[in-house]
Structure 1
Amino acid sequence: MTAIPTLATERLLLRPMRAEDWAPFSTLMQSERARFMGGPHSVSAAWGMFCADHAQWDFFGAGSLMLEDRQTGACLGQVGINSGPLFPEQEMGWLLFDGAEGQGYAFEAASAFRDWARDVRQLATLVSYVDPQNDRSCRLAERLGAVLDKTARGQDPTDLVYRHFG
């Protein structure tokens, strides 16, 4: 079993998931904002994703961390490294809860988690699967230094696959 880390950035704590994180996660996954993540999802499907995000730590040595504002304690979103039968490769994804977009939180969190994956887990590569219509996530992947890999298989056949340090 892998110990779930807590990572600190200038403004954020990337910390293990808690039961109280379910409410904002569920709200996002059931909303139209989840359209780039295959949603909106039912409560049951959202619960399955939430539980899988946590369980992957035991199964694969990486999973999801929540983004917590270091000053206010507010939970702002999630960054994760996804593995398992639904993912062709280890995939780094991110999501922000309503009101947290456009402030650089996803870049800050994804940079820290990507570096942890490379330096601590010694992963040779990560990918990010991005819906081609999700311009903001495409720009974020590029800002993180990922490059479009047209030969990689996506989670969904229409996904763009961005490769990090590979």
Structure 2
Amino acid sequence: MTSPVLHTKRLTLRAPVIADFPAYAAFWASDRSAYMGGPKDEAGAWFWFCHDVAQWALLGHGALMVDLTVSGTTVGQVGLNGGPKFPETELGWQVYQGNEGQGYATEAAAALRDWAFASLPVDSLVSYTDPYNAASIRVAKRLGAVPDPEALGQDPDDLVWRHTRRTQ
């Protein structure tokens, strides 16, 4: 499947391209990735970048880069993750340094969530958050997700947030 291009009021969500890798790798090399299993070296970042891209062909979903529509500046990424490392289809997000607190993660994740419910055979999605990642917990709550203590997390200590069609 070819990835979609999605538009919100301020953002364009589009397929990753090789030119996105340096900023992506910088995110993974930074302490900002600590809640996601980082920091990672360039090879580790490359693994996840390729994973994000390959999922479109293999699973019919994957990651999209988040650009400011007006300037074209990439401010982060949002993705639907699957495969052996993910117990369920995950809606995840990352915002690059200096772009926090603008609502980009919530806006982009809502657009991808809505696309997933309209385009994929899923009745729910989950978001895995580290219990100490207050910013991501706030995003999950703003998206209308609810805690699901019975769901299996990606990592043993994860909080699992459930998104259903009715939380849109």
TM-score tier, shorter chain, comes to over 0.9
Superposed displacement of residue 46, structure 1 = 0.7
Offset, 1:139: 1.1
Rounded to whole Å, the distance in 2 between the matches of 1:32 and 1:9 is: 29
| TM-score of the aligned structures, taking structure 1 as reference length | 0.97
Which residue type is aligned with residue 147 of structure 2?
Answer: L
Q: Does 1:91 align with 2:90?
A: yes
Aligned to 2:39: 40
C-alpha distance in structure 2 between counterparts of 1:4 and 1:33, whole Å: 26
| Alignment-mate amino acid for residue 143 of structure 2 | L
Match of 1:117 in 2: 116
What residue identity is the alignment partner of 2:125?
L
Question: In the alignment, residue 23 of structure 2 is paired with which amino acid?
Answer: P
Amino acid in the other structure paired with 1:132: P
Instruction: Give 1:116 shift.
Output: 0.3
| Ranges in structure 2 where 5+ consecutive residues have no aligned partner | none
Q: Which amino acid aligns with 2:12?
A: L
Structure 1, unmatched stretches of 5+, are: none
The secondary structure found in structure 1 opposite 2:75 is: strand
Does residue 20 of structure 1 match 2:19?
yes
CA RMSD of aligned residues (A): 0.8
Aligned residues, how many?
165
| Secondary structure of the corresponding residue to residue 113 of structure 2 | helix
Corresponding letter in the other structure for 2:37: G
Name 1:4's counterpart in structure 2: 3
Task: Report the secondary structure of 2:77's partner residue.
Answer: strand
Tell me what 1:136 maps to.
135
**Residue 159 of structure 2 aligns to which amino acid in structure 1?**
L
TM-score norm. by structure 2 comes to 0.96
State the Cα deviation string for residues 72-102 of structure 1 (Å, max 9, x = none): 1101100000000000000010001111110
Would you say 1:75 and 2:79 are equivalent positions? no
Task: State the distance in 2 between where 1:129 and 1:40 align.
Answer: 17
Query: Shift in Å at residue 121 of structure 1?
Result: 1.6
Q: Provide, for residues 49-76 of structure 1, a one-character-per-residue CA deviation record: whole Å limited to 9, x for no partner.
A: 0010000001100000000111111011
- For residues 57 and 165 of structure 1, what CA distance do their matches in structure 2 show? 22
Secondary structure of the equivalent of 1:67? strand
Q: Which residue of 1 aligns with 2:161?
A: 162
Distance between the aligned counterparts of 1:16 and 1:155, measured in 2?
Answer: 24
SS class of match (1:161): strand
CA–CA distance in 2 between the matches of 1:134 and 1:4? Answer: 29
